[in-house]
Structure 1
């Protein structure tokens, strides 16, 4: 039984926010103090590390479930299957539906249920649920869908990754420039032309659990009861560079595929320098240099949309919408991600 991806879709929000749009922000340190350098210097350093020049934000009237629905529609159309044949809808996210101007995330009902409602699926045996696994959530959803199919519990699954991180960022935090909005989706089926060859997932929570966390604004005059996404950036960088290459290598070993046969690596779009370091260390395990064209990147224009980055990136490459990158039938690719938890996962996939 070949279990693979038969259709993809993504929704890239239309609101473009460029780095220069942050020039007038009042950035503060963790202790609430102002920085001695001008914002232009902060922003230039930020771009040199992350690679981000601009990012996308969703229009105020669109919530995370709406973005997921729009991506799901495209994935269904791309696959050509009847939506009523879906056995599972799995929606990976972190914060639920976020309404502009409100401080609470909304997960009642689940975002997967909302997508099923928007798709007008009548089949009650199409089970809809959410998964929270940090940025690796979409990959984990694909792994879950594969397990359902392998066990005989399902034949067709829709896996979505979506987020509106622009609504949980502290405008006084320099890290707020990293985050963006978006959604990506894929149809996972048995008897597909592509095939999941192997997968791995790990959780490091012995001291690493709170590298990403929720906390108050850096502005002492701000509301102390409102929480925003925060991170220990240096710790995450060191953690990812240490543990992600090993997880990728373990997954590749389980697949039986040689490193020379890997054509593309679709890695979570978190930070350009970090991703480059991960790939370099991954190839170093095999005593090799990473090929120059191995790693497609979308972070420069789209920012870090968490669970949406990999399915969006894969959709762009599949459909020829990312310059200098393409995949062909039979190509072996790796999906890999790291994020809150701290969770890491990877899939070796034959396209």
Structure 2
């Protein structure tokens, strides 16, 4: 028996927010002071670092659970399964349902229950719960699904990553340009086919690193001091990820018994192009090797950072031949990896 991803689906919002759309924003320093550069310079420097040219925002009438439902429907159809046979629905997110033009998060009931309700699944033994694990949430959900299946507690699991980060950003913070909305989903099940999940690795670094990503006040000190927005210590995250994600990927590959030369793709969380490139280079250097040019597919240029949705969306796009010249063939070994708030990191070695 192997444990494989037998179906995928994603929802990419239609609304495109281009870099030029930020030229009219009032960006401020963290202390509320003015930035001594015109917005055109700020935006250009942002693009050079992150690689982001545009990102997607959800329509006002849609919430995170709506996006997750739309992606889940596609994954179920792609796997060609009876949804009543799903044993677990695991929904990764960070902020719940934040409706457009509001500041309050809604997670009652949990998003997994909402999605199960929308799917019209009647089976009460289909357990639906949420996972809060920062950007690595979908990868961790896949790891949990595998554990349920290996323990004999499940045969089929639906794992979803969904987020509307555009509704929790501080528009006066330059970092707000990074974030986007989207959802990705997958069916994980036991099969008689070869391959599937070969190894996994997870870790939580909290002693010094817990608050590298946090909720904080707007850079505009005239706004309500009781409203919080997503904030980050970007340099600290970069340095942390460079060392720890690369090491987690190495440890995971070592566990799998797969040789580095047999890895065909690395699907890493789409957080920042330069950071991701540096992580993959560091990973290959740990094996005294050099990263192949086409090893790391990227979606961040057009889709931005949609947190838990980036990895499953990337995987779905490649499976459906919708990402440039990147393809995954049967038998290929790939690595999923992510880093995010917590600070959490994880990796999975997977044979397609």
Per the normalisation by structure 1, the TM-score is 0.99
Match of 1:90 in 2: 90
State the SS of the aligned residue for 2:45.
Answer: helix
How far is 1:100 from its partner? 1.2
Q: Secondary structure at the match of 1:224?
A: coil
CA distance in 2, matches of 1:220, 1:105: 22
**Which residue does 1:333 correspond to in 2?**
334
Structure 1 Cα separation of the partners of residues 191 and 185 of structure 2: 19
Aligned counterpart, 1:141: 141
Aligned counterpart, 2:15: 15
Aligned residue for 1:317, secondary structure, equals helix
Query: Match of 2:59?
Result: 59
User: Paired residue for 1:289?
Assistant: 290
> Aligned to 1:91, what secondary structure does the other structure show?
strand
Number of equivalences: 351
Cα displacement string for residues 1-50 of structure 1 (whole angstroms, at most 9, x for unaligned residues): 20010000000000000000000100000110011110000000000000
| 8 Å Cα contact 1:6/1:192 also seen in 2 | no
Corresponding residue SS for 2:197: strand
The answer to whether structure 1 residue 215 and structure 2 residue 216 are counterparts is yes
> Is 2:276 the counterpart of 1:275?
yes
In structure 1, the residue matched to 2:77 is: 77
Distance 2:40 2:320 in 1: 36
Q: Deviations over 1:262-295 (max 9, x none)?
A: 0000000000000000000000011111000000
Give the superposition deviation at 1:227.
0.5
Q: Secondary structure at the match of 1:171?
A: coil
8 A Cα contact 1:266 1:333, kept in partner = yes
Q: How far apart are 1:111 and its partner, in Å?
A: 0.2
- Which residue in 1 is equivalent to 2:4? 4
The equivalent of 2:233 in structure 1 is: 232
Secondary structure of the equivalent of 2:59? coil
Instruction: Compute the displacement of 1:104 (Å).
Output: 1.2
- Could you tell me how far apart the structure 1 residues matched to 2:45 and 2:101 are? 30
How far apart are 1:124 and its partner, in Å?
Answer: 0.5
- Report if aligned partners of 1:251, 1:348 keep a CA contact under 8 Å in 2: yes
Q: CA deviation at 1:229?
A: 0.2
Cross-structure match for 1:113: 113
Structure 2 CA distance, aligned partners of 1:37 and 1:237?
Answer: 24
Aligned twin of 2:124: 124
Instruction: Name the residue aligned to 2:304.
Output: 303
- How far off is 1:324 after superposition? 1.1
Secondary structure of 2:239's partner?
helix
Instruction: Say if 2:190 is the partner of 1:167.
Output: no
Residue in 2 aligned with 1:263? 264
CA contact (8 A) 1:244 1:338 kept: yes
1:153 maps to 2:153: yes
SS in 2 for 1:172: coil
Q: Structure 1, residues 231-257: CA drift from partner, whole Å, max 9, x if none?
A: 000000000001110000000000000
Query: Residue by residue, what CA displacement relative to the aligned partner does 1:47-70 show, whole Å, maximum 9, x if unpaired?
Result: 000000000000000000000000
Residue 221 (structure 1) shift: 0.5
Which residue pairs with 2:245 in the alignment?
A: 244
Which ranges of structure 2 fall in alignment gaps of 5 or more residues?
Answer: none
- SS across alignment from 1:177: helix
Aligned-residue offset at 1:192:
5.4
Judge conservation of contact 1:5–1:192 (CA < 8 Å) in 2. Answer: no
Match of 1:349 in 2: 350
The separation in 2 between residues aligned to 1:192 and 1:18, in whole angstroms, is 45
TM-superposed CA distance for 1:103, in Å, is 1.0
CA distance in structure 2 between the aligned counterparts of 1:277 and 1:24, rounded to whole angstroms: 32
What is the aligned partner in structure 2 of residue 320 from structure 1? 321
Q: Which residue of structure 2 lines up, in the alignment, with residue 47 of structure 1? A: 47
